[in-house]
Amino acid sequence: MTMTNSTLKKLAAMALTLGLVTGCASTDQIKKMQADIADLKDNTSAAMSAARDAKLTADTADRKASAAMNAANAAQASADECAEKCDRIMQKSMAK
């Protein structure tokens, strides 16, 4: 029975050592995963910030394009009006 207790103690010590080693490895893995998650959060925050900046830039470009289109339409309307006046003047001078 003494031999059985001794063997049991050795097995318990080995199991405890194995459990500690496995537990440490798991703790290291958990720490690495936590670090990876923190990196992913940082990268996600940076990506969201870049997306917001890109949207702001796109919105600004859209407003400028709309303003340019309005100016072009106004210029075209003015040119059309001028062309009509010129045609009327030309027709009046040809009629005389």
> How does pLDDT run across 56-81, given as a tens digit for each residue?
999 999 999 999 999 999 999 999 99
* Widest Cα–Cα separation across the chain: 138
Q: Is 1 helix (H, G, I), strand (E, B) or coil?
A: coil
Backbone dihedral region of 25: left (phi > 0), alpha (psi from -120 to 50 degrees) or beta?
Answer: alpha
pLDDT, residue 3, reads 56
Residue given tokens 């910030």 in the structure block: 49
pLDDT, residue 28, reads 80
pLDDT, residue 1, reads 46
